[in-house]
Amino acid sequence: MIWSILLLTAVTLERLGELVLARRNTRALLAKGGREVGAAHYSTIVSLHAAWLIGLWLFAWNAPLETGWVVVFAGLQVLRFWTLSTLGRRWTTRIIVVPGETLVTAGPYRFLRHPNYVVVIGEIAVLPLCFDMPIYALVFTLVNALVLTIRIRAENAALSGSSHAQQP
């Protein structure tokens, strides 16, 4: 039970910290003349992630952990931190286009166009599996796939329309 609470607490604090970081970076990018693209679906993304995490707190706080899945989840965190550190102040949870900026091609972006989405897809599926909740993982993975389809289309349109989009 304590390990489940610790894992959920760590993920919750990580997400809250990311929202603070994203808000700060977004303000800075907008101050540099950036403009947001695809804002209409942003509240859906936030709602999905909030529902996913709240549901895990409700149903998994006292579940035993599946060690193998925890190791996979830890691997996803390594990719998450690599992605965030590669983008630095350019990382945000929104799609921001800044005139004069070039696309990031270092770090995981050398290998993947959207490494952050690989992490998000993995986390949505893997964290519930850490608590042996395969149906929960499947349901949220399917909903996440629908939302990310909209999100990635918007981001790809921004990237193709301008070589100055920030990749969240």
- For residue 167, what pLDDT is reported? 47
The structure tokens 């995981």 sit at 108
Is the C-alpha dihedral spanning 145, 64, 76, 53 positive or negative? positive
Q: Where are the alpha helices (DSSP H) in the chain?
A: 2-31, 42-60, 67-87, 115-130, 134-161
Both structure tokens of 86: 């590669």
Give the three-state DSSP class for 71.
helix
Task: Report mean pLDDT in 10-residue bins for the chain, 168 residues.
Answer: 95 97 97 94 96 98 97 98 96 92 92 94 98 98 97 88 48
- For residue 163, what pLDDT is reported? 42
For residue 61, report the phi and psi dihedrals to the nearest 5 degrees.
-60, -25
For residue 42, give Cα distances in angstroms to 82, 129, 146: 23, 26, 13
- Judge whether 90 and 166 are in contact, CB under 8 Å: yes
Both structure tokens of 11: 């993920």
For residue 37, report the phi and psi dihedrals to the nearest 5 degrees.
-120, 140
- For residue 103, what pLDDT is reported? 86
**What pTM was estimated for this model as a whole?**
0.90
Both structure tokens of 88: 């630095």
DSSP states of 38-62 as a string?
A: -GGGHHHHHHHHHHHHHHHHHHHTT
Distance CA 15, CA 48 (A): 13
- For residue 14, what pLDDT is reported? 97
Give the three-state DSSP class for 36.
strand
